Structure 1
Amino acid sequence: MYWLGHDGMFGSAVLPGVMLIVFVETGLLCPFLPGDTLLFTSGLLAAQDGAPVDVWTLAPCAALAAVAGGQVGYLIGWRLGPAFFRKEDARIFKRRYLTSSQQFFSRHGRKAIVLGHFVGVVRTFMPVVAGASGMRYRVFLLYDVLGAVLWGVGLTVVGYHLGNVAFVDTHLELMVVLVAASSTLPVVVSAGRAYLARRRAAASEPASPSPRPDPANTSPGCPPGTGIRR
């Protein structure tokens, strides 16, 4: 199996790269990073011959990075609260991200810290919500560690075991492409819905009436606006 080169070029960077991306997604408010896809694909590749890192090293390290990211997110929420989300049209810190995470938190309570690891944007902003809401740190830490282990270890190990299936091993490149493509579907669907909503809103707006000429300012045989008042 080639790992970015015949001589294993960049192979030593796989583990720190995975940990860095997981940490940034869960701790530095970057919801556009593909954490789920990364862990699953890393597990797939770790099952191949010549993998630069063992899955039993990769999985706990990914969970550790997720825990570290969660602590940073909690600190941001505790210190700064919703200050990042005041502008509705901000490029990254959109208020709707915080709102959806708050709704998820209020619906599921403490277990939302665990479940939130498996839900895209919620995984990124749930620690911020927990910190901003004043959740006790010990409680948050307990549930965050549990969720990070289930997510980080779980997805990686699932990918690893799937990578040991003969069909997947034979068609590994195809499987990686399919996983990557499936991870973009929510983004495409969300963008499509937003586009259709804007189109419907624009179509439902009443057309502005055209201005009528003032009869008092016109006279027969003269263009509107040039007549002589009588």
Structure 2
Amino acid sequence: MDQFDWKQLLNPEFYILLELGGIKIGLYVVLFIVFAETGLLAGFFLPGDSLLFLCGIYSEALMKEFSTGSDFLNVTFLAASISVMGILGNMLGYWFGSKSGTYLYKREDSFFFKKKYLFQSKDFFEKYGGKAVVFARFLPIFRTFAPVIAGIVAMDKKKFMFYNILGSILWSYVMIFAGHYLHKLFLSQFNIDLTHYIEFIVIGIVLVTTIPVLMKLLKKKA
């Protein structure tokens, strides 16, 4: 039996290909992670964007037990399932913010919670308003706290749900379809299997999604 390496927890491929007693549970783990990113305030260390991109690449394996026989429908249903979990996670985050928002500002920092991210997300939300719920979906850290901030500032529930649904659908479909069809394109046109370059893909996506965050922080300090 291979020795478990804790570094695997930062590797999106680990979750997708995870097995328990010989049963593939990757799909269920992915759905839980998407929910946990916002619903359980644990998103700052979970591999969100890169996870969805890789879900597109590994969509056939993820949807094996629920295959429709159509490649397009499988990817569509996968993206739809993930978007639903994203919507539910945001709803829980909003509820938590509306019920105990003041508690978060007094809470001490821990491994799962960093107060500074809360304040940064609040500034981001105040700058972009309701659209922040959509924008935050594509930005690590911010997507974790955006629905909480919406709850704290008592954003209109109907308005929040509109942006919540829109953002979750855009995020899941863009990332998953991009991963799925770029993988097919590179394989058919250039004979390049993207599954052999997972580490580079993950690093690339992390850089692309975190650079806007870092630029914002640097401007704020300047």
User: Structure 2-normalised TM-score?
Assistant: 0.73
Find the partner of 1:171 among 175, 179, 193. 193
Deviations 1:111-136 (A, max 9, x none): 11111101100100000000011111
* Map 1:19-168 → 2, pairs under 5 A: 19-30=31-42, 31-46=44-59, 54-87=74-107, 89-167=109-187
- Correspondence 1:17 to 2:29: yes
Distance 1:149 1:173, change over 3 A: same
Secondary structure of 2:113's aligned partner? coil
Take 1:38 and 1:44, find their aligned partners in 2: how far apart are those partners?
Answer: 10
User: Structure 1-normalised TM-score?
Assistant: 0.71
Q: Is contact 1:105–1:126 with CA below 8 Å preserved after alignment?
A: yes
Q: Is contact 1:47–1:164 with CA below 8 Å preserved after alignment?
A: no
Take 2:141 and 2:54, find their aligned partners in 1: how far apart are those partners?
Answer: 19
The aligned amino acid for 1:173 is: T
Take 1:101 and 1:32, find their aligned partners in 2: how far apart are those partners?
Answer: 16
Deviations 1:64-102 (A, max 9, x none): 000000000001000001312324643332221111111
The aligned amino acid for 1:39 is: L
Q: CA RMSD in A?
A: 3.0
Identical counterparts, % of pairs: 33
Q: CA deviation at 1:184?
A: 5.3
* Map 1:173-192 → 2, pairs under 5 A: 173-183=195-205, 186=210
* Aligned length, in residue pairs: 186
Q: Is contact 1:34–1:183 with CA below 8 Å preserved after alignment?
A: no
Distance 1:95 1:4, change over 3 A: closer
Consecutive unaligned residues of structure 2, counting only runs of 5 or more, are 1-15, 68-73, 218-222
Take 1:14 and 1:43, find their aligned partners in 2: how far apart are those partners?
Answer: 13
Secondary structure of 2:160's aligned partner? helix
Consecutive unaligned residues of structure 1, counting only runs of 5 or more, are 194-230
Which of 162-171 and 173-182 deviates more? 162-171
Structure (1 or 2) with the larger CA radius of gyration: 1
Q: CA deviation at 1:170?
A: 3.6
Q: CA deviation at 1:104?
A: 0.6
